[in-house]
Amino acid sequence: MDQKMKNFDRNIEQMMNENEVAPPFGMWNRIATELETGAAAVPVSVNSPIPQRTVFGFVAGALFISASLLTAYLVNDYSKEEKTIAINTSVVNQPSVSAPVTQEMQTIIFRDEVKSTARISKSIATTLPVAEKATEAASTNVSANTSKLHTEVSVPTQAIAENNGVTEPYYFPAIDIDNAKKVEEKTTASIAKVSKATDVNEREVSSYEAPKIKFRPKKHRSFSYGRIIHNGKRK
């Protein structure tokens, strides 16, 4: 069986090797043309150490990785934007520590100075965790405010007196020395009244319809703090 098989193979081998087949006419011209044009890129591609499939694979992988990184960056950026906006809205809506301050700051515009300072001091006092510190701070603030009030009352009078004293005769009203004490007592009393009436003022604040401020997140990618909407209208 094996011998028959070998004979068969040998016969075919002899037949194939003994015979030569002349190539068609013009074959050399084709080869010469290819050599001249330098289009023989086949040996280069065959001898190149990296096959084309691998190169394509690398390129495709690089594109995929870059696309995924870009997507991740964009998603991260968008989530950051949403996070900041959420913090802003929490400041506005939640009646927590910082909320009264913002509300008070708004009311400063609409109320007189004395009430607002008293209210601020009150709010600070309420935000302090220790009651004693709060009271101390309140008292120091009140005293500071009283001195401030005193100067506010006296300084314009002096200025007017200095300015007008040269050109025009100015009547200085009779100032009692004890009057300063009385003024101070009055101011302290008024501040005490104000501090007593803080609850009332707060009720006023709460009842006062302050302009509602909302922050709406922007949908597009560029970073911003959002738009301020004042009573439903954009500013």
Partner 1 sequence: MSSIVFQGNTEEQIREGCVKGDRKYQQMLYNMFSSKMFGVCLRYANEYNSAQDLLQEGFVKVFKNVEKFRGEGSFEGWVRRIFVNTAIEHYRKQVNLYALHDTEAKGYEYYEGNALETLKHQDILRMIQKLSDGYRTVFNLYVIEGFSHKEIGDMMGISEGTSKSQLARARYLLQKMITEATGFVNQSQNA
Q: Give the binding site for partner 1 (CB under 8 A).
A: 1, 4-5, 7-9, 11-13, 15-24, 27-28, 30-32, 34-35, 40, 42-43, 46
Taking the least distance from each CB to partner 1, the nearer of 8 and 208 is: 8
Taking the least distance from each CB to partner 1, the nearer of 12 and 175 is: 12
Give the nearest distance from C-beta 52 to partner 1 in angstroms: 12
Give the nearest distance from C-beta 40 to partner 1 in angstroms: 4
- Cite the DSSP H helix spans in 94-130: 98-110, 113-127
Give the nearest distance from C-beta 61 to partner 1 in angstroms: 23
Other beta carbons within 10 angstroms of residue 235's beta carbon come to 8
Taking the least distance from each CB to partner 1, the nearer of 27 and 161 is: 27
Q: Do residues 81 and 217 lie in contact, with contact meaning Cβ atoms separated by under 8 Å?
A: yes
Structure token digits, residue 126: 């309420």
Give the nearest distance from C-beta 218 to partner 1 in angstroms: 54
Give the nearest distance from C-beta 50 to partner 1 in angstroms: 16
Measured between alpha carbons, how far is 118 from 133 in angstroms, rounded to an integer? 17
CA-closest candidate to residue 114, choices 191, 168, 170 = 191
Taking the least distance from each CB to partner 1, the nearer of 15 and 50 is: 15
Taking the least distance from each CB to partner 1, the nearer of 20 and 178 is: 20
Helices and strands counted in the chain (H then E)? 9, 3
71-to-45, 83, 85, 90, 234 alpha-carbon distances in Å: 36, 18, 21, 29, 32
